[in-house]
Amino acid sequence: MGNTIVWKPAGTAKYAAQLIMRILREAGLPDGVINLVYGDGAEIAEIALADHRLAGVHFTGSTQVFNSVIRKVGSNVDHYRSYPRLIGETGGKNFILAHGSADVAALGTAIIRGGYEYQGQKCSAASRVFVPASLWPALKTILCDEISTIRVGDVSDFSNFMGAVIDQKAWRKHMRVFEEAKASSAKILRGGEGDQKDGYFIAPTLIETDDLEAPLLREEFFGPIVTTYVFRDSDFENILERIDQSGACLTGAIFSTDRRIIDQASSGLRFAAGNFYINDKPTGAIVGQQPFGGARMSGTNDKAGSIWNLIRWTSPRSIKEAFVPPRDYRYPYLSSSVDD
């Protein structure tokens, strides 16, 4: 489409990026269209964002870094030859909300798959679950029993459901979460442990908290940590409102067999999740079928994998050609008034 790109991958994704570039070049991509660069992110951003030719930024990462990109572009706005377009996908604190009518077995499966697949290292991973008290005893038993069966190890062994987290930095972050949880009123029901002897492994962890303001329900950990909050069944509408008030709005799910409740949640959480799921885990969007992205503090919701994202990178031009151009500035009504 005429656009050229400077691609700066995360340091932990550099090998995958290099492989993708090799595949694209073998497929016929001309040199100079996509320019893969490595190095310190802040240093590269300083150079790229200061260039007067900058046309836009397509960012995936933390909210804090995207905020710094926006500030940097804003401070340079008088320097650019056109206004840069900014697209950001910054993750979220994704939720599963259950109603008393939910299928408990399906709910349990969604929590485990949504929270622990890929070690929870998805921006869409389920990390907070709101459960009515009437369902909690049965759901708690299902989750604790099933989590105990999850195998963690080398991903080349397909009998393992989970592998290691991405690096030591992530491992240490998750271990700090466990320490803080143990020091609070929260209860670690399963997991809460890590091992870095043969890799940076974190056990699939289930935590229960009774504090709606706890960091466990507000901060993104990007790991296999799921926190549950149990509410009175009569407080369903209040919990729905609290979820809607949260800043991260990437993915979310409602579990209920009552269509009226599903409709209520779909409406009440209209702006709480860019990708909303009904009786399914809030992960695994299919490219081409479920355009992906969220708003508020989860990004600009430009829907990767869709026409909406694609057209953000076009610059339309309207052309009009007159085949019989007028030769007198006077419109017919002007001539008529003069004659009268």
3-state secondary structure of 61: coil
86 class by beta-carbon count within 10 Å (0-12 exposed, 13-18 middle, 19+ buried) = middle
**Scanning the structure block, which residue is given the tokens 């972050």?**
173
123 flagged as catalytic: yes
Catalytic site includes residue 144: no
The total of other beta-carbon atoms located within 10 Å of residue 236's CB is 20
| Amino acid (one-letter) located at 339 | D
- Which candidate in 89, 117, 208, 220 is catalytic? 89
Q: Please answer whether residues 200 and 153 qualify as being in contact, where contact means their C-beta atoms are separated by less than 8 angstroms.
A: no
CA distance 278 to 282: 9
Give ∠ CA 203-205-209 in degrees, rounded to 5: 160
Bridge-based pairing of strands 251-255 and 94-98 is parallel
Residue 100: how many CB atoms within 10 A of its CB? 16
The catalytic residue among 117, 123, 220, 249 is 123
List residues with catalytic annotation. 89, 123
